[in-house]
Structure 1
Amino acid sequence: MPQTHAPQLRIPATYMRGGTSKGVFFRLQDLPAAAQVPGAVRDALLMRVIGSPDPYGKHTDGMGGATSSTSKCVIVSTATVPDHDVDYLYGQVSIDQPFVDWSGNCGNLSAAVGPFAISAGLVDPGRVPRDGIATVRIWQANIGKTIVAHVPMTGGQVQETGDFELDGVTFPAAEIELEFLDPADEGEGAGPSNGIFPTGQLVDDLEVPGVGTFKATMINAGIPTIFLNAADLGYTGTELQDAINGDPQALANFEAIRAHGAVRMGLIDSVEQAATRQHTPKVAFVAPPADHVSSSGKAIGAGDVDLLVRALSMGKLHHAMMGTAAVAIGTAASIQGTLVHAAAGGGPRDAVRFGHPSGTLRVGAGAVEVDGRWTVTRAVMSRSARVLMDGAVRVPADTVQG
């Protein structure tokens, strides 16, 4: 008998850019029933949508772009938490390994959640003005935090075009202001009185066998992040992607630093566990301002920024800056005694402009110390977002057969 093959599933979806990332957005209700709950079926579906795991590292057979910035999925649903409009769940899909990392948020794609939720009918129409700014209260379900998105509206539609320019994004668009409220996840890896610093120290000596011992600021604000001094690593802080990503030994060293830092932060119990937790923590290195040229060829003067920061995501140097890491940068820059504060030249500050491989970014943060415990009340930054394509994605039917 001839072999029969089931047709592909058709799942409504929207492909969106948010900040310097892009991903596939779904309404929870549109997913197959077996994928509407967390578990292996949902993970298998999202991996197939993106095209992972891909030993070729190209995502040719999926919607992913084979980078940490473009290997992402988002699930949005009506709010389950009082005083919020929607729940937002983010999945970072590994490129070459068969897993989805749910351990953190994507600050860049956070900018697209509000516009998607409005357009998808998930926000009460009574809360959305025909013209002006719609305030969308988002519950970030991965980390249990609130994000407030201020989304411009024109003629009853989300405004996507505009003249706001974001380094790392080729074309201008409409500005979306994001407020990350109480962005520190003090419950994960934190001691009983350490606040946003899981080790209880503003600077630690992080020993990494076979690599070295480094001064490190390990902070949990926005996303768990390990900050190092660029000079201690032999860098200037002006490096572009090829300088790091083209050096296998450097990448291996950074992964070792990340794994040992994760243990020190209490995020994992052993360095071996880091392989299945690629999204967090992040590793970044900082340096004082210096004249340099961004990846687009734009000249950045030392006077244009307060400091330089380069960060790694999913094992590679990021082409710009993760939004959640920007929250960590802004927070650490506001606290005297951290490596980030020192690189920025010291002194009191409630906002910082830093240089990244694609240009510059400004982020504001408010950190306070009460009884020796540091907390951060909120962080603010501007991003942009737009729909790239909407309709449906297709996956083989056997993808969701658990």
Structure 2
Amino acid sequence: MSSLPQIKIPATYMRGGTSKGVFFSLKDLPVSAQTPGAARDNLLLRVMGSPDPYGKQIDGMGAATSSTSKTVILSKSEQADHDVDYLFGQVSIDKPFVDWSGNCGNLTAAVGAFAISNGLVDPSRVPENGTAIVRIWQVNIQKTIIAHVQMTDGAVQETGDFELDGVTFPAAEVQVEFMDPADGEGAMFPTGNLVDDLVVPGVGTLKVTLINAGIPTIFVEAQALGYSGTELQDDINSDVKALATFESIRAHGAVKMGLISHISEASTRQHTPKVAFVAQPSDYVSSSGKSVTTNDVDLLVRALSMGKLHHAMMGTAAVAIGAAAAVTGTLVNQAAGGGERTAVRFGHPSGTLRVGAEATLESGQWQVKKAVMSRSARVLMEGWIRVPGDSF
């Protein structure tokens, strides 16, 4: 039996926010993978080491969590007044599936740096020193994102003293603006309600806030599920019954949001929607041992990604939190104390995060013009990814 030798593809392994992923320039991919389809999906699956029935991704670049099984494809933008087109692929760990249905807000923080360093941004738009404004077209969700990237002596400044809970070491701050983050194809609140009753067989009828902002998200009250909002990963991820309950909520919520027509389709759309539970502030100790007090936060949020409780908070879910908090009457707003607000600081398993958003009611529809947060990013490794030549 003969096998094709490995091929090598230029790639960069980067951290963005609390996630890691493999970044590619579109032009560097094999020709068959430069367009959407099975070849591209199979290539990215093999790059990450999926599908892996052991759930470890040992034979690939993935690290067996939703935060680290991620891929990014970038190219010079085809959109007017944009610098780079950003396509995100969430690679399933144990299934032969790449989910293209949403964005990764955390890795967004690394897009500007990669684009500048790889010649995807017009040099005339990049200062020798100061801040480069990178205009990103997010292909998955057809939205504009603005990244503010620090430059020093003509190179991206990656080191600094900005600290981000969920990331051990400080780095340079990257401010990210998510422009008009609500779903461009529908209302920010797809049912027209700020709070809905969601019937979930075996669970009951839950009060939920369903929102399309940043990423489609289902918010539920922690106490309705028997939680306090102070839970850490092991409290949820070690409980098989709890994970099944959250997946059932996600599937039924997806139907109510109009994202799928039947709950059976949820298994083919793992990346979206997200499920998160919210609670009023309470003291707890984060996963790093850091104490978070009621004075540190406006509310508590725990969110699930790819079927597991996230170790911190997805960037896109943070946008959803900020947007929902800005609208008086949502479950997120109520957990934060109610009333009008333009920013919120919430507690997550790794610590706290602040996100700003302003909501307005226009022609009977709620709109958020912009959501803003700060992340950090840096290159971990660059060179070539190697994959067997017959894997795609």
TM range, smaller chain:
over 0.9
Residue type matched to 2:171 in 1? A
Cα distance in 1 between the residues matched to 2:196 and 2:387? 47
Report whether the alignment pairs 1:58 with 2:50.
no
Q: For 2:312, give the aligned amino acid.
A: A
What is the Cα deviation at residue 213 of structure 1?
1.0
Partner of residue 214 from structure 1, selected from 206, 211, 215: 206
Please name the residue that 1:115 is paired with: 113
CA contact (8 A) 1:16 1:24 kept: yes
Alignment of 1:12-91 (within 5 A): 12-91=10-89
> Is 1:392 equivalent to 2:363 in the alignment?
no
Secondary structure at 2:193 match in 1: coil
How far apart are the structure 2 equivalents of 1:76 and 1:381? 22
User: 1:339-373: CA deviations, max 9, x gaps?
Assistant: 00000001211000000000000000111101221
CA contact (8 A) 1:227 1:286 kept: yes
Task: Please give the secondary structure, in 2, of the residue aligned with 1:87.
Answer: strand
Instruction: Determine the C-alpha separation between the residues in 2 that align with 1:316 and 1:173.
Output: 27
Q: 2:194 matched to which residue of 1?
A: 202
Classify the secondary structure of the residue corresponding to 2:346: strand
From 256, 266, 278, the counterpart of 2:258: 266
> Which of 355, 364, 368 is 1:372 aligned to?
364
Partner of 1:130: 128
Q: C-alpha separation between the residues in 2 aligned to 1:100 and 1:164?
A: 32
Give distance in 1, aligned partners of 2:357 and 2:341.
9
Distance 1:205 1:4 in 2: 58
Question: Residue 287 of structure 1: CA displacement?
Answer: 0.3
Q: Deviations over 1:181-222 (max 9, x none)?
A: 0011141xx4xxxx2000110000000011211000000000
- What's the counterpart of residue 335 of structure 1? 327
One of 274, 282, 289 as aligned partner of 2:274: 282
Distance in 1 separating the partners of 2:134 and 2:363: 34
Residue aligning to 2:181: 183
Instruction: State the 1:4 CA deviation.
Output: 3.8
Distance in 1 (alpha carbons) for counterparts of 2:375 and 2:2:
48
CA distance, structure 1, for counterparts of residue 366 and residue 293 of structure 2: 33
Write the distance in 2 (CA, Å) between the matches of 1:60 and 1:301.
38
Q: Which residue of 1 aligns with 2:143?
A: 145
2:239 counterpart of 1:247: yes
Distance 1:143 1:299 in 2: 36
Segments of structure 2 that go 5 or more residues without pairing to the other structure are none
Question: What amino acid is aligned across from residue 102 of structure 1 in structure 2?
Answer: W
* Residues in 2 aligned to 1:93 and 1:70: alpha-carbon distance in whole angstroms: 9
For 1:291, the aligned partner's letter is: D
After TM superposition, the score normalised by the length of structure 2 is 0.99
1:231 corresponds to 2:207: no
- Displacement after TM superposition at 1:6 (Å): 2.4
Please provide the CA RMSD for this pair. 0.6
Confirm or deny that 1:98 pairs with 2:90.
Answer: no
Gaps of 5+ in 1: none
Kindly provide the CA deviation profile for residues 255-276 of structure 1, in whole angstroms up to 9, marking residues without a partner as x.
0000000000000000000000
CA displacement, residues 283-334 of structure 1 (integer Å, 9 cap, x when unaligned): 0000000011000000011010000000000000000000000000000001
Letter in 2 for 1:109: L
Correspondence 1:5 to 2:3: yes
CA contact (8 A) 2:3 2:390 kept: no
Please give the per-residue CA displacement for 1:61-83, whole angstroms capped at 9, x wherever unaligned: 00001100000000000000000
- Equivalent residue of 1:25, what SS? strand
Contact 1:186–1:220 under 8 Å retained in 2: no
Which residue does 1:356 correspond to in 2? Answer: 348
Equivalent residue of 2:106, what SS? coil
Percent identity for Structure 1 against Structure 2: 73
Runs of 4+ in 1 over 4 A off after TM superposition: none
Q: TM-score, normalised by structure 1?
A: 0.97
- Give the letter aligned to residue 351 of structure 2: G
What amino acid does structure 1 have at the position aligned with 2:383? G
> What residue is the counterpart of 2:306 in the other structure?
314
- Paired position in structure 1 for 2:162: 164
Give the paired residue count: 392
Letter aligned with residue 260 of structure 1: H
